[in-house]
Amino acid sequence: MPVATPTTESPVALTRRARRIYRVLLERYPQARCELDFSTPLELLVATILSAQSTDVRVNLVTPELFARYRSAADYAAADRAELEDLVRPTGFFRAKTEALRTLGAQLVERFDGQVPGRLEDLVTLHGVGRKTANVVLGNAFGVPGITVDTHVGRLVRRFGWTEETDPVKVEHAIGALFPRRDWTMLSHVLIFHGRRTCHARRPACGACPVTAWCPAYGIGETDPVKAARLLRYELAPDS
């Protein structure tokens, strides 16, 4: 039986199907988590900014030395531009990211006593921090539930038929309405894991996916189980 599409599915049926997909994916990826290495809210905020147009793996190669050298917002505010650029260069767009980190440090010192605020409305006032970055920090550093709409989440929720929205804020609100607030952060992790490892942008491994029975996009990728299994990615290389 084909899966109902958003135009034929009732709101109750959509909610039940979405939650079923989440439960199955949670079983598939019980280890799902933020893949950026950090130990403080500031470290996570910096790492998330560096991850733009880069990979978490590459950022994690850079941050040990970065975090050892810059331990506070004041350190970033006072950072030597050339030195900081050299450290973040491997993540790409290093000049813009250097300026973002220096400005961010100054704003945290001037407006928040050098501390990363724990409210979304405050976080999004900081240079280089949008709702996606704010929700990453809130969910993983402060335990405040949030939905992180990155490229993987946006792609998957549209393939799953959970929403047809493309604007990240509208996607966030549409998906948030389908799930209890307590699930939002883990839901984001699970979707990102699935998007990176199975439901790829160009060639999804449909034949190796555990939620095909509830996915209206089944068949857009490789459906042969053997061939699909070869597309699965468990470890991400820096250039992947």
pLDDT beyond 50 at 113: yes
Quick one: 173 and 201 in the same domain? yes
The domain that holds 177 is classified in CATH as 1.10.1670.10
**Which one is catalytic: 37, 75, 122, 150?**
150
Tell me the pLDDT of the chain averaged across its residues: 93
**Which one is catalytic: 56, 132, 170, 183?**
132
From 109, 141, 173, the end of a domain falls on 141
Phi, psi of 43 (to 5 degrees): -60, -40
Q: Provide the domain count of the chain.
A: 2
* pLDDT for res 224: 96
Quick one: 100 and 151 in the same domain? no
* pLDDT for res 21: 98
Q: Does the residue 3 lie in any domain?
A: no
Quick one: 119 and 186 in the same domain? no
- C-alpha gyration radius of the chain: 19
Range of the domain at 69: 41-141
From 88, 114, 141, the end of a domain falls on 141
Q: Does the residue 237 lie in any domain?
A: no
Active site residue 132: yes
- Burial (CB count within 10 angstroms: exposed 0-12, middle 13-18, buried 19+), residue 13: exposed
pLDDT beyond 60 at 171: yes
* pLDDT 10s digits, 37-81: 999 999 999 999 999 999 999 999 999 999 999 999 999 999 999
Quick one: 132 and 158 in the same domain? no
The domain that holds 58 is classified in CATH as 1.10.340.30
Active site residue 122: no
For 32: left if phi > 0, alpha if psi spans -120 to 50, otherwise beta; the answer is beta
* pLDDT for res 8: 77
Label residue 234 by pLDDT band (50, 70, 90). confident
* pLDDT for res 240: 35
Quick one: 161 and 132 in the same domain? no
